[in-house]
Every structure is written in C-alpha cells, then in structure tokens.
Amino acid sequence: MTADLTNPSPNFNTRSGPPDMVVLHYTGMRTGEEALARMCDPTSQVSAHYMIGEDGRVFRLVDEERRAWHAGKSSWKGQTDLNSASIGIEIVNPGHEFGYRDFSDAQIDAVIGVLDGVRTRWEIPDHRILGHSDIAPSRKQDPGERFPWARLAEHGHGLWVQPDLPPDGVMGPPLGPGDEGLGVFSLQGGLGKLGYGILPGGPYDEETALIVTAFQRHWLPDQIGSELQGKADARLRVTLMALLRQIALLEV
C-alpha cells in the first residue's frame, strides 16, 4: 500500500476516545480530483482519513489519531458522535447521482490493505466495519449495493453470512409498509439490536423501510432495485438473525 502524503486535509479536530469503528463511503462526485479538493478545502468542513482512487492509490488526508469529519448526522448502537468513534475511508466512485459503477479490483485490494493496517493499530471488531448508509440510512446510500462486502469478509474484514432458508411458507409473506404485529416488532427489535437507530413498536413505517433498505444495500444487495426493496422477506429476516448470532459468538 502506498500513501500520498502531499494532500493533508485541515478538516479535523480532537477525538473523544480511540476509534473502534470503520465507516466506508463513496465520494459521490464526478471525479476523484474534485473529491480530493473538497476534502482538503477548509471551507467545506468535510474530510476522511483516507481516500482511495480508482487506480488503487491511497491518499492519507487525516492522521488516524485525529477526528475526521465524514460521518455527519448518524448513529449506531446508540452512539451519535461517530466521527470520534470511527476511521473514515472514502472510495472514489461517482455514486448514484453521477453514474454509479462497480468498484475496481485495485480499489478493493487497496481497501483491504488499509484495513489490514488500521486493524493492527486499533481494536475494531468485524461488526463495526460499516457503510455510511448503515449509520445514516435516511440520508445516505454509500458505498451502495455494488460494494463487494463479501470480498472484504473473505479477507477477514467485516461480517458476511449466507444462512440456509426455511421451507417455503414457514415464515410467511414479506413484511412491508403498513404491516403491524409481532413480526414487525421482532424485525424492528432485531435491526435495533444489530445497531440501526430504531426501536421496536408501531407499524412498518417509512423509517423501518429506509433501515431495511440500508440493510439490503449491505447484506442483500441483489434486492436493491427489485420489488423487495424496503420489504423484509424470509431471506432478510433469516440473514438478520444469522448476523446477530455471529456477533453474539464473537463477543463471547
């Protein structure tokens, strides 16, 4: 991994404690040059610790010991100052607004290399390697459904599960907007236990649908853009339960 140290960002301040989370983003701008300029512009008040170009070059913008400004208004597991809790990695991609496309192999290799290094310096559990859309589901879509989370997990970073599905009909039809009852309560409780900012109770509302969509972007990306987007079918609910079991095992 090579780091370009010629573009330090002035946009940082002091952490309240050591980082125990990584948040992955896409830049969402037309070019990497535009994104780099913005994160190094003191008037923008945004930054990240690293930016990874489409050719795999790694730009170090803010020292890991400092609090970069990448998470914005966000939450996970009840925490809201996620800039203090996290290391932010921006990956050059125009995003949904400007022509979202697959991430290059060089980029993903570089992300894995950065994570290899970060996790030798800080205690960051797999279940706290997240996307911007996980911590801000009502505002953000990045790094999006094209990001290869499974490939990261194959290299030891993050969670990925592929549980067996129950027989057809055992778990009933998909849950969706307007539904109520024990199934919705259980779904909301499970999503909240995983870390999303939702409490169980009430109907399957817009907030629930947005969080389900964020979950799909990370763990069931093939459901994005389908009739299941924003709905919780049996596969989603079994995947959620499998993730919670895996986290529980890791925490023993």
Each residue's pLDDT expressed in tens, for the chain with a length of 252 residues: 444 545 799 999 999 999 999 999 999 999 999 999 999 999 999 999 999 999 999 999 999 999 999 999 999 999 999 999 999 999 999 999 999 999 999 999 999 999 999 999 999 999 999 999 999 999 999 999 999 999 999 999 999 999 988 777 667 899 999 999 999 999 999 999 999 999 999 999 999 999 999 999 999 999 999 999 999 999 999 999 999 999 999 886
Same domain, 189 and 80: no
The count of domains in the chain is: 2
- Residues 93 and 26 sit within 8 Å (Cβ to Cβ): yes
Within a domain: residue 164? no
Q: Catalytic annotation on 90? A: yes
Within a domain: residue 169? no
Residue 240's domain spans which residues?
182-251
Same domain, 96 and 214: no
Same domain, 141 and 244: no
Same domain, 137 and 192: no
| From 33, 54, 65, 90, the catalytic residue | 90
Same domain, 111 and 51: yes
Check which CATH number belongs to the domain holding 91 and give it: 3.40.80.10
Within a domain: residue 137? yes
Distance CA 63, CA 233 (A): 42
User: How many CB atoms are located within 10 Å of the residue 190 CB?
Assistant: 19
pTM: 0.95
Same domain, 146 and 191: no
Same domain, 189 and 150: no
Same domain, 55 and 142: yes
